[in-house]
């Protein structure tokens, strides 16, 4: 039997459609939004009209009836041009809407998913805290049952899509009790935007992703109804581990897009830029850099598509998702560095896309699980966890 990683006609048509949108609509405008640190509402609305926010969700909830591969294809094509737009889609779908689709009640799905799928509303994912990043099990935010409400107190940090004009909800992890062994029981609650006691801080001043929305959130006696619980009480941590496993495939696709975008820009520049009487692309040193960039982007693409195919087939995919995230984020950082070098002084100028890509690449080795965490996950899947515990 032979393995065929080629796309179906439907997936290829989607890929081409998003590719055209990215180049014709996003590319001419996004640089200005990026430099102003401004959220691109116009572009996001157009993405909503295209159905991108509803790609992996059933039609009965307003989705496009597609799959996770379709979402990842869209993310890669968007990130070839700009990562701020891509991460807005990734966080809105994988982190904002997917938990409701995976774990929500029928009532929760029908209340929230149609507006999330249309792009009319964005969802956010409240997991990370100021003192709790990779150690998500160390959550300090609490939610205490008080009659028919939950009372939430705590702080969440680095939360994407949490403070836009169209943010509609934040799914928040919080300690709701203790397990028999004394460990915290972490649950997930849906908190509508604008709920009294929820304070949305000013946007962070970031190195990259400057046209996306990222903020700190403060919960001071925030009350939500008892039916705001998402999934089973005490299962919030396990639920979000599943969401993060899937999200790593999406981030890998995004990172691959950035790596490919760096190659696209560098090939074009190498053809047009002349030095010493000929295009710099005629120099073998530049040719070899571009060849290595192409090889890296290709292997990253194979890695995330392999992980996605396992997810769609219902097979275990945790290790493959971690490998894809680890490899593609490294590839993105390396290709961004090389693209900047090929562009020379112009690569340091913000008017050139590679400067934006260079700034955007580093976070891919940190967000949704650091590279160190990916190595930890991979080593556990290799059966080495017992050795570490006994050492």
Whether residues 43 and 142 share a domain: the answer is no
Whether residues 259 and 385 share a domain: the answer is yes
- pLDDT for res 240: 86
Please count the structural domains in the chain: 3
Question: Is 289 part of a structural domain of the chain?
Answer: yes
Question: Is 170 part of a structural domain of the chain?
Answer: yes
187 bridge partner residues: 174
Distance set, CA 205 to CA 42, 124, 158, 166, 214 (Å): 22, 19, 11, 21, 9
Whether residues 147 and 89 share a domain: the answer is no
Question: Is 21 part of a structural domain of the chain?
Answer: yes
Question: Is 19 part of a structural domain of the chain?
Answer: yes
Whether residues 282 and 363 share a domain: the answer is yes
Last residue of one domain, picked from the residues 204, 233, 262: 233
**Residues near 221 by beta carbon (within 8 Å), at least 6 away in sequence:** 151, 152, 153, 197
Contact 171, 96 (CB under 8 A): yes
- pLDDT for res 21: 98
Q: What is the CATH number of the domain that holds 179?
A: 2.40.110.10
Whether residues 117 and 129 share a domain: the answer is no
Query: What is the residue-wise DSSP string for 224-281?
Result: EEGGGB-SSTTBHHHHHHHHHHHHHHHHHHHHHHHHHHHHHHHHHHHHH-EETTEEGG
**Rounded to the nearest 10 degrees, what angle do helices 353-361 and 236-272 cross at?**
150
Question: Is 1 part of a structural domain of the chain?
Answer: no
Last residue of one domain, picked from the residues 79, 94, 123: 123
Q: How far apart are CA 193 and CA 195, in angstroms?
A: 6
Whether residues 268 and 366 share a domain: the answer is yes
CB atoms within 10 A of CB 236: 29
Q: Which residues of the chain have pLDDT under 50?
A: 1-2
Element (H, E) at 151: strand 149-160
Q: Which two tokens stand for residue 167?
A: 């943010």
Whether residues 47 and 128 share a domain: the answer is no
Q: Which residues are catalytic?
A: 368
Taking only the tens place, the pLDDT of each residue in 42-100 is 999 999 999 999 999 999 999 999 999 999 999 999 999 999 999 999 999 999 999 99
**Rounded to the nearest 10 degrees, what angle do helices 284-312 and 68-79 cross at?**
160
List the end-to-end C-alpha distance of the chain, in Å, as a whole number.
Answer: 43
Question: Is 169 part of a structural domain of the chain?
Answer: yes
Whether residues 63 and 103 share a domain: the answer is yes
Q: What is the CATH number of the domain that holds 383?
A: 1.20.140.10
Q: How far apart are CA 3 and CA 228, in angstroms?
A: 44
Taking only the tens place, the pLDDT of each residue in 212-246 is 999 999 999 999 999 999 999 999 988 988 999 99
Taking only the tens place, the pLDDT of each residue in 19-48 is 999 999 999 999 999 999 999 999 999 999
Q: What is the CATH number of the domain that holds 56?
A: 1.10.540.10
Sign, Cα dihedral of 346, 351, 352, 358 = positive
Last residue of one domain, picked from the residues 88, 123, 158: 123
Whether residues 104 and 146 share a domain: the answer is no
Whether residues 372 and 244 share a domain: the answer is yes
Candidates 60, 50, 58, 61; CA nearest to 13 is 50
For residue 133, give its domain range: 124-233
- pLDDT for res 391: 57
Question: Is 155 part of a structural domain of the chain?
Answer: yes
Whether residues 73 and 140 share a domain: the answer is no
- pLDDT for res 1: 38
Contact 304, 249 (CB under 8 A): yes
CB atoms within 10 A of CB 118: 16
**Rounded to the nearest 10 degrees, what angle do helices 318-343 and 236-272 cross at?**
30
The residue to which tokens 């041009």 are assigned: 81
Whether residues 370 and 259 share a domain: the answer is yes
Q: How far apart are CA 235 and CA 179, in angstroms?
A: 11
Question: Is 156 part of a structural domain of the chain?
Answer: yes
Q: Which two tokens stand for residue 227?
A: 């039916």
């Amino acid at each position: 039997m032979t393995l065929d990683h080629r796309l179906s006609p439907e997936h290829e048509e989607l890929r081409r459609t998003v590719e055209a949108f990215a180049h014709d609509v996003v590319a001419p405008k996004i640089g200005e939004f990026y430099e102003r640190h401004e959220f691109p509402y116009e572009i996001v609305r157009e993405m909503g009209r295209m159905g991108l926010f509803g790609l992996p969700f059933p039609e009965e909830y307003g989705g496009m009836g597609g799959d996770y591969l379709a979402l990842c294809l869209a993310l890669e094509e968007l990130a070839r041009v700009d990562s701020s737009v891509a991460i807005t889609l990734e966080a809105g779908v994988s982190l904002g809407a997917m938990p409701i689709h995976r774990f929500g009640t029928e009532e929760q799905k029908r209340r929230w998913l149609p507006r999330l799928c249309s792009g009319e509303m964005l969802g956010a994912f409240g997991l990370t805290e100021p003192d709790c990043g990779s150690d998500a099990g160390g959550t300090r935010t609490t939610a205490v049952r008080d009659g028919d409400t939950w009372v939430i107190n705590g702080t969440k940090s680095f939360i994407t899509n949490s403070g836009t004009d169209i943010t509609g909800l934040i799914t928040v992890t919080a300690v709701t009790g203790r397990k028999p062994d004394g460990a915290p029981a972490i649950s997930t609650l849906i908190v509508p935007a604008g709920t009294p006691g929820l304070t949305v801080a000013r946007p962070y001043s970031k190195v990259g992703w400057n046209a996306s929305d990222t903020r700190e959130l403060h919960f001071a006696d925030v009350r939500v109804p008892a039916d705001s619980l998402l999934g089973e009480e005490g299962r919030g941590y396990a639920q979000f581990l599943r969401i993060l496993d899937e999200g790593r495939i999406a981030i890998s696709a995004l990172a691959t897009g950035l790596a490919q975008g760096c190659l696209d820009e560098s090939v074009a520049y190498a053809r047009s830029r002349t030095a010493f009487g000929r295009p710099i692309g005629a120099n073998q040193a530049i040719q070899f850099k571009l060849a290595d960039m192409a090889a890296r982007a290709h292997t990253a693409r194979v890695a995330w598509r392999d992980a996605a195919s396992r997810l769609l087939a219902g097979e275990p995919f945790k290790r493959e998702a971690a490998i894809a995230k680890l490899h593609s984020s490294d590839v993105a950082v390396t290709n961004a560095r090389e693209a900047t070098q090929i562009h020379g002084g112009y690569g340091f100028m913000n008017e050139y896309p590679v400067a934006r890509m260079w700034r955007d690449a580093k976070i891919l080795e940190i967000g949704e699980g650091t590279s160190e965490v990916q190595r930890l996950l991979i080593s556990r899947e290799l059966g080495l966890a017992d050795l570490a515990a006994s050492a």
